[in-house]
Structure 1
Amino acid sequence: MKFPQLTMEERIRRLEPPKGKIRAVLDTDTYNEIDDQFAVVYSLLSPERMQMEAFYAAPFFNDLSTGPKDGMEKSYLELKKILALMKSDIPAYEGSTMYLPDTHTPVESAAARNLVERAMASTEEDPLYVVSIGAITNVASAILMQPEIIRRIVVVWLGGHSFQWKDTREFNLFQDLHASRTIVNSGVPLVLIPCMGVTSHLLTTLSEIRDYVKGQGEIGDYLYETYLNCVDDHFGRSRVIWDISTIAYLNNEQFTPSVLLPSPYLSEEFRWSFDASRHLIRYVNHIHRDEVFQDFFRKLQQTNQ
């Protein structure tokens, strides 16, 4: 597969953290964990920074699903539930029912087709931000279906572990190796937000969620109950709300310090390797945990005053 090539100047410009209001879509395996729900809500609570245009259900397969198709369908229903609680009319689309069979064959879905349509309606001067917080199958499929969208989008992906971690067997990346490789190899402008070693700082507790989320309207109560029910015993426990890191990056670059680095290679053994001649990506290397949660809690409370 031959992908469009951006010049170094075009890539650096595209990878600058956004300054004004952007247009965005969010691709999410919403039923898989409890953090996706927080990210969907955070995006909708941030209209001053982003105009959300669509939500896409991503596939997943673990103890909560019987396979990628079932995981995607459950995520789609969970998305619809959250949008109803938020009284939002932003559309949601069903995504892929399977993972990519190889690195050059897309899996068509309503989500991938809609992403292609929205991206092709965008311009290089006003790119569509594609936020992915699950297996990146839908996004990789859209790129394979229409490679020209590489010139018109910026992908912000919570995927893999930090570059110094012993491996990168992280759930989002691990589920679909072919899609993950497509993203890092295609040259699409990419903001990579790692999990262990970076986003793992986004810990919170039931006490904090009870104090600042519970009672903040129907959606606040839903997020609280979701957090409450995720384990039987919360004594001395905290939990990472990984996915809000992507929305935090778009809200305020100071929340998520980052650098430009050559795109890594991804091996079949799920390890990063590096070549200084590769195209650049933006790599988030730290999270200011308190500022991110303060921003989320304030927006939730202001919305429900």
Structure 2
Amino acid sequence: MNSKFLLPHLFVFVLFFCGLAHAVGQIREVIVDADTGNEVDDFYALARILADSSVKVTALNAAHWQTSHWTVPNSMENSHRLNQQLLGEMGLQLKTLRGAPARMYDWGDRAQHSAAAYGIIEEAERNDRVTILVLGALTNVASAVFIRPEIAEKLEVYWLGTTLDFETDVLKRNDFNALMDPFALDYLLDSKVAMNIMPINVAVDMEIEYDKISKAIGNSRLGRFLIKRWDDHLDGARKSRVLWDLALVSVFLKPDFGTTRVVRTSRDSGNRNITYYNSIDANAIYQDFYKVLSAFEKP
């Protein structure tokens, strides 16, 4: 065949299949922001998303939990260290960034200027859309938007926090993640950041007994590591826990595991549409978690 005829057709052929592969196997990119040192559930949620081949975690940010009554000195550094420890246990390498050491300030430049906040800004300046999963306080995201307000419309945040009465649409902010930085929550509710919220009163369905999860994951090295986190925690003797963050990560990865409803917030909570998860299938989430953990261990 004449090469002048072959080369243009070959070029079109390659372009077609490259485009097809991109459309079918496109990997979502996401930033994950976690107060890993605070509770047990962060490790489980992080293990779930880090073991998933359908997403690429572009940065793992450390969040503080400095306002908690059981906090430790430099709680953000504690989260940063545990993030790196988990990556080491899983044999993974990715960017880990330090976030704010505490909540946003009370006046003036209220932003906490951190590597995590500027990492979010950098991603937003480089991309049309940036997805962020936030498992703790909203400080790092709110600080990024405070520093560069123009990035707000590019951000889509998935967050665990608040409670919502789905009969009255009354929003309460008396849960742990909201109280770690009330201003950050208010600031984002009033912003143009797209918000997808897993409320505490829905995530509570994730309660599981220690014996049950130990039996399900305790035969793998990573599973034993996660169980040890439960054992070594300040209240490690608990016979059951709610693995809150695993709910948020799982429904982000597998939307069929939950249902959502768009809620118009009140005037003092942004007065705008927010997507709220109003139900989850906890059993499906746990079965999926066991399956992914088991597959990750295989050579």
TM-score (norm 1): 0.82
Aligned match of 1:10: none
Q: Percent same amino acid at aligned positions?
A: 25
- CA deviations on 1:249-268 (whole Å, 9 max, x unpaired) are 211112121011213455xx
Pair 1:23 & 2:16 matched: no
Judged with a 3 Å threshold, the aligned counterparts in structure 2 of structure 1 residues 181 and 34 are, in CA distance, closer, same or farther, namely same
Pair 1:141 & 2:143 matched: yes
- Matched to 1:137, the amino acid is T
The correspondence for 1:301, drawn from 285, 290, 294, is 294
The correspondence for 1:35, drawn from 29, 35, 41, is 41
TM-score (norm 2): 0.84
The correspondence for 1:247, drawn from 232, 237, 249, is 249
SS of the residue corresponding to residue 157 of structure 2 reads strand
SS of the residue corresponding to residue 144 of structure 2 reads helix
Instruction: Tell me how far 1:56 sits from its aligned partner.
Output: 0.6
Gaps of 5+ in 1: 1-18, 267-272
Instruction: Tell me how far 1:232 sits from its aligned partner.
Output: 5.3
Write the distance in 2 (CA, Å) between the matches of 1:294 and 1:224: 17
Question: RMSD value over aligned CA atoms?
Answer: 2.1
Write the distance in 1 (CA, Å) between the matches of 2:37 and 2:111: 23
Aligned match of 2:95: 91
Contact 2:208 2:241 (C-alpha < 8 Å) held by counterparts: yes
Pair 1:223 & 2:212 matched: no
- Matched to 2:289, the amino acid is F
Gaps of 5+ in 2: 1-24
Q: How many residues align?
A: 268
The correspondence for 2:284, drawn from 291, 297, 300, is 291
- Matched to 1:285, the amino acid is N
Aligned match of 1:269: none
Aligned match of 1:131: 133
The correspondence for 1:47, drawn from 42, 45, 53, is 53
Aligned match of 1:119: 124
Judged with a 3 Å threshold, the aligned counterparts in structure 2 of structure 1 residues 128 and 232 are, in CA distance, closer, same or farther, namely closer
Contact 2:231 2:237 (C-alpha < 8 Å) held by counterparts: no
Comparing both structures, which one devotes a greater share of its residues to helix? Answer: 2
Aligned match of 1:183: 188
Judged with a 3 Å threshold, the aligned counterparts in structure 2 of structure 1 residues 140 and 232 are, in CA distance, closer, same or farther, namely closer
